[in-house]
């Protein structure tokens, strides 16, 4: 098989030249048949009390050894055909035709599609907030505007003293058509949910020192309001106070806008109205 091939459990991946193994298996089989016939005659003689117990036990011992040699030879012959232990995709081939291989030689890399995982390292302060089976959302800079569902599969109970993080294994559904092993991803684990939250677009936020502010429009006046932030993601920040639903918020040009500046609302053709400030800023509804 080659890299990129899909294989099923039990499919043949590679054949090892087995001429010597076949000869060994045939030799052990012939030896076993010979000893089996000899033991059958010995057993009959033993039952007729024509031979001693010791001679009977020796023949039986030789037969049992022959059976073990035959089983070992058959196993070695079967191992000359390397089969896929599970279904998946071949992601790497480490052997070429004519190569010499021994026990322990790496032949292939096989990825199990239905058991893809992402390993993330979470700050230790969230150790009690992360639980198994919590929902997770996986995104990647390589896959713009796409997200994938996942869940917390395993949690390491140990915090690394050097980094202050603990490892969390995220299970991902079979998305081989997009996600590939080795790709860098961002993972958000859903630890809690706030219903009916007021969301503020991140592009509306103004930073002043360690605080965050937004400009809201009240009576044609732009008012700077400190943002009391709650949950947030890559696009929105939850407002916990001061900003009510349906509040007009300036989202463009607010960095150069002064508090209490006059603005006017301009109707546009879009389904929702925009508000444009006197300095070219525009607003959106929270």
pLDDT at 286: 45
205 three-state secondary structure: coil
pLDDT at 282: 42
Beta partners for residue 122, in sequence order: 166
Give residue-wise pLDDT tens across range 101-156: 888 889 999 988 777 899 999 999 999 999 999 999 999 988 888 889 999 999 99
d(CA 61, CA 73): 19
**Is the model's pTM score more than 0.85?**
no
How does DSSP classify residue 203?
Answer: G
How far is CA 35 from each of CA 42, 65, 66, 242, rounded to the nearest angstrom?
10, 10, 8, 94
pLDDT at 181: 80
Place of tokens 């390397």: 82
pLDDT at 261: 86
Q: Is the pLDDT of residue 253 over 50?
A: yes
Phi then psi for residue 249, to 5 deg, are: -125, 135
Mean pLDDT confidence for 226-234: 86
Cβ-Cβ contacts under 8 Å for 130 (sequence gap 6 or more): 122, 152, 155, 168, 189, 191
- The angle, 0 to 180 degrees and rounded to 10, between the axes of the packed helices 19-47 and 53-78 is 160
Among 78, 71, 84, 191, CA closest to 129? 191
CB 64 within 8 A of CB 31: no
pLDDT at 273: 40
- Average pLDDT of the chain is 85
Q: How many residues would you count in the chain?
A: 286
Among 19, 1, 30, CA closest to 80? 19
pLDDT tier at 247, thresholds 50, 70, 90: confident
d(CA 143, CA 163): 28
pLDDT tier at 20, thresholds 50, 70, 90: confident
pLDDT at 32: 93
Q: Classify residue 240 as exposed, middle or buried by CB count within 10 Å of its CB (0-12, 13-18, 19+).
A: middle
Q: Is the pLDDT of residue 177 over 60?
A: yes
200 three-state secondary structure: strand
Q: Is the pLDDT of residue 267 over 80?
A: no
Q: Is the pLDDT of residue 283 over 70?
A: no
Choose between 234 and 169: higher pLDDT. Answer: 169
Element (H, E) at 39: helix 19-47
Mean pLDDT confidence for 251-273: 69
How does DSSP classify residue 270?
Answer: S
pLDDT tier at 271, thresholds 50, 70, 90: very low
Mean pLDDT confidence for 159-166: 94
Torsion angle in degrees (nearest 10) through CA of 202, 208, 210, 212: -30
Give residue-wise pLDDT tens across range 38-93: 999 899 988 888 888 999 999 999 999 999 999 999 998 988 899 999 998 898 99
How many CB atoms within 10 Å of residue 172? 21
pLDDT tier at 266, thresholds 50, 70, 90: low
pLDDT at 250: 86
d(CA 219, CA 217): 7
Among 117, 115, 106, CA closest to 82? 106
């Amino acid at each position: 098989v080659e890299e990129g091939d899909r294989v099923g459990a039990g499919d043949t991946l590679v054949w090892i030249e087995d001429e010597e193994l076949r000869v060994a298996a045939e030799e052990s089989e012939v030896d076993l048949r010979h000893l089996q016939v000899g033991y059958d005659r010995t057993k009959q003689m033993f039952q007729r009390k024509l031979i001693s117990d010791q001679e009977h036990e020796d023949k039986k011992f030789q037969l049992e050894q022959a059976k073990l040699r035959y089983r070992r030879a058959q196993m070695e012959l079967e191992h000359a055909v390397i089969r896929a232990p599970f279904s998946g995709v071949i992601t790497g081939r480490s052997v070429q035709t004519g190569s010499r291989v021994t026990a322990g030689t790496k032949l292939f890399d096989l990825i199990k599609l239905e058991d893809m995982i992402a390993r993330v390292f979470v700050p230790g302060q969230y150790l009690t907030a992360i639980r198994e089976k919590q929902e997770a959302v996986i995104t990647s800079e390589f896959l713009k505007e796409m997200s994938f569902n996942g869940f917390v599969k395993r949690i390491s109970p140990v915090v690394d003293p050097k980094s202050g993080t603990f490892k969390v294994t995220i299970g991902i559904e079979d998305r081989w058509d997009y996600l590939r092993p080795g790709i860098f991803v961002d993972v958000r684990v859903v630890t809690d949910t706030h219903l009916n939250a007021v969301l503020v677009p991140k592009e509306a936020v103004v930073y002043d020192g360690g605080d965050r502010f937004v400009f809201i429009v009240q009576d044609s006046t732009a008012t700077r309001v400190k943002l009391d932030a709650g949950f947030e993601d890559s696009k929105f920040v939850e407002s916990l106070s001061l900003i009510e639903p349906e509040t007009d918020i300036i989202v463009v040009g607010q960095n150069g806008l002064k508090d209490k500046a006059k603005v006017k609302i301009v109707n546009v053709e879009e389904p929702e109205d925009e508000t444009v400030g006197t300095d070219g800023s525009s607003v959106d509804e929270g």
